[in-house]
Homo-oligomer: A and B are copies of this chain.
Amino acid sequence: MTVADLTEAELIARVRAQLPPAPPWMIVGIGDDAAVVEPERNRVDVLSVDALIEGVHFDRAFTPPDAIGHRALAVNLSDLAAMGAEPRLALLSLALPQALAVSDFDAMIAGFTALAARHRLHLAGGNLTRSPGPLVVDVTVMGTVKPRRALLRAGARPGDELYVSGTIGAAAAGLQMLKAGLQARTTTDHCVHRYLYPEPRVRLGSMLGRNRAASACMDLSDGLADAVRQVADASGVGAVIDIDRLPIDPEAREWFVSRGLDPVHEAVTGGDDYELLVAVRPRTRSRLAAAHRHGGVPLTRIGLCTNDRAILMRRTAGNAIEAQPMPRGYTHFR
C-alpha cells in the first residue's frame, strides 16, 4: 500500500494517531486552517525552518524512513539549541512521492515524533501534498528563550576562547560508510548512527543561554570550518584553531586514515555533526562547568578568537608552529 492509496485526511489521521495529547497552551492544533497557541510569558519566540530533500540531504537507498523523520527534526532542534532556546512546537510540511509505502510514511512520522517527545516539542500543524519528484520534509520549529539570553553568532571578541561540544567527524565518516555500501553497519556502527540519528544539543544550548556563558554560538550543521568562519565573520574577528586539540571521533579518524584521507580535513569540513561551536570570554570560563555538567556532553577548547581577521588552523611541529588557512566548508548550493 502506498500513500497514493490514501486520502489526505487518512494520512493526517495516521499522523495524529502517533501524537501525545496536546499541551494546554495549544488552543487549536492540527485540523483547522491554522494552529493557535498561547505565547509563553516573559519569553521571546525563536523560529527556524529547514528542509531535507531526497537526493540532496539524504538517499533513501541507505537512510531508513525513521532516520529521515528524526534528522528532519534534529536539524531544526539544533538551530534552536544554537540560539539557547527551548523547543515548543513544530509544523511539518511533507511532499510525498506517490510510490512511498504507507509503512515508510508511518516510520518517518515515528522517527519525528519520538525525537519530538524527548524534547517536549509538540506538532501543531503542517501540510501534506504529493511530490512529482523527490520526498521533501520541510520542518518549521518554534522555541522560546528569555529576553536578551538568545545566543547569537555575533558577539565574539578577540581573546574569546572557542569550544566545541562532543566530537567531530563521526557523521561524515558514517555517511562515507553508507555510501561505500556498508548498510549492514546501519544500526550498530557508532559513526553510521551519528549520521542517521544526530542528537541536537538542546540542553547544552539552553544551559549556555541561561547562565550567559557564551559570547557567540552556532551549530555545526555544515561542519566546524564553516561554523568558525560564520561566527568569526558575524563577530568581526579572526580565529586560530589548534589542530591537536580537535576532538575528532576516534572511530571516524580510523575510518578516514583507512581510506587514505586526511582526518583533520575530513573532520573540519564534514557536515551533519550538529554539535555546537561556542565562544567564551576568558573571565566567564567558569560558567562552562555547569553547562558541561548538565548539558550531557563534553566541551573541548579548540582555539581562540583573534584581532587579525584570518581564519587559521595551527599545529605544533617540534619547536615550530605551522599555520594554514582553515579549509572552506561544505556549501549547499554550488
CB distance from A307 to the nearest CB of B (A): 23
Residues of B within 8 A of A27 (CB): 44, 150
A37 touches B32 (CB 8 A): no
Say which one of A52-60, A180-188, A191-199, A262-270 lies at the interface with B: A52-60
CB distance from A77 to the nearest CB of B (A): 11
A34 touches B48 (CB 8 A): yes
Residues of B within 8 A of A15 (CB): none
B131 touches A49 (CB 8 A): no
B83 touches A34 (CB 8 A): yes
**CB of A207 within 8 A of chain B?**
no
Residues of B within 8 A of A145 (CB): 36
B132 touches A32 (CB 8 A): no
A129 touches B93 (CB 8 A): no
Take A6-B333, A219-B33 as given contacts and tell me if A129 and B51 are in contact as well, using a CB distance cutoff of 8 Å. yes
**CB of A140 within 8 A of chain B?**
yes
Residues of B within 8 A of A49 (CB): 91-93, 125-127, 138, 140
Q: Which 3 pairs between the two chains have the least Cβ-Cβ distance?
A: A133-B133, A34-B48, A39-B39
